[in-house]
Structure 1
Amino acid sequence: MKKLTVARLGRTVGLHGDMKLHILTDFPEQFQKGSTFESDRGSLTIESVNPARGTVKFQGIDSVDEAKKYTNAYLYSDEETTKKSFPLGEDEYFWFDILGCDVFEEGKRLGKVVDIQRLPAGDYLLVETDKSFVDMKKAKSFLIPFLDMFIEDVHLDQKRIDTKGAQDILEAS
């Protein structure tokens, strides 16, 4: 099962092992008392969370020295747990499902989604351009706004996204 990065632990706060919690997910509600996460330094179970201060305390970590061992550690969930815990509505997608999708427009493959970038104006698909376009001296990658005006259809079962206007973006890149 592929692990998903959901948070990074920051500096210690106070004297009792609390730490800054830098949330890297759209589902902050998963950080609750009793929730367990894998980290790159072992399994951690939340003892308490203070959303107003952006801090978390884990069971068994009761001092600054113990907490410092986890500074800059990442917390992980997995795809299966995320899908079970956070059902999505129609036309909503998990980023991990979108990554790797082939992008098409009018039957032509434009490329593959290699990343999703969250910018102030919204989410953008970073597409690695298909070799046939690169051979025509087009950009090696380009961004498509994840908006209805550019995304016609998403077929997760086929790992395919049909677009409109994305080829114009590629041509202008």
Structure 2
Amino acid sequence: MKQADCYQLGEVIKTHGLKGEVSILLDVDFPDEYQNLESVFLEKSGNLVPFFIDTIQINGNKALIHFEDISSLDDAKTLVKSKLFLPLSSLPKLKNGQYYFHDLVGCDVFEAEEHLGQVKEVIDLNGNQLLAVYTGEKEILIPLKDEILTLVDLDNKKVTVELPDGLLDVYND
């Protein structure tokens, strides 16, 4: 499994107890949908390695997981700061008009008829999501808010925005 074929579910933030459990910070909108996970991929040395789940308890945006073959505190310590991934194919289906942030990457961004650039990535800064739009010579960061993104057309890879007054002035010398 390649990382490009996956999405990040969360990250191991610390160990829990002495029997190999770990605490996970989940980076998903609906954590309870993952209550019945059987396995995940953990990033280890740049590779995705499958880990099978013995038990999982979800509480808000955190989970307590005990993986098969991880039976001690020392084993669990090796997992701290590892990112957890799942295949894109396992993403829950969305309703019409909804999209995942990774769907925006590669879309052309327009304000009115002016082409601003192309989305290269979605950046999360402490819960504030930004579109990193590259114009060729510079990067523009656009807040990912419903009132700013007025139209998302994934079929045509086009995003229309209505930017707050002065936002582009920050990027013009």
**Shorter-chain TM-score above 0.5:** yes
Note if contact 1:39-1:73 (Cα within 8 Å) is conserved in structure 2. Answer: yes
Q: Provide the secondary structure at the position in 2 that maps to 1:97.
A: helix
SS at match of 2:155: helix
Given candidates 60, 71, 85, the residue that maps to 1:76 is: 85
Q: TM-score, normalised by structure 1?
A: 0.77
Aligned residue for 2:9?
Answer: 6
Which of structures 1 and 2 has the bigger CA Rg?
A: 1
| Number of corresponding residues | 162
CA contact (8 A) 2:32 2:58 kept: no
Contact 2:105–2:122 (CA<8 Å) still a contact in 1? yes
Q: Does structure 1 retain, via aligned residues, the 8 Å contact 2:102–2:122?
A: no
Equivalents in 1 of 2:162, 2:16: separation in Å?
49
Give the TM-score, by structure 2 length: 0.77
User: Which structure has greater strand proportion?
Assistant: 2
* CA RMSD across the alignment: 2.6
**Are 1:35 and 2:33 counterparts?**
no
SS in 2 for 1:51: strand
Q: Can you give the 5+ residue segments of structure 1 that lack an aligned partner in the other structure?
A: 135-139
Between Structure 1 and Structure 2, the one with more helix by share is 1
The residue matched to 1:38 in structure 2 has which SS?
A: strand
In 2, the alpha carbon distance for the partners of 1:25 and 1:111 equals: 27
Equivalent position to 1:91, from 67, 72, 97:
97
Percent of residue pairs bearing the same amino acid type: 25
5+ long unaligned stretches in structure 2: none
* 8 Å CA contact 1:17, 1:67 repeated in 2: yes
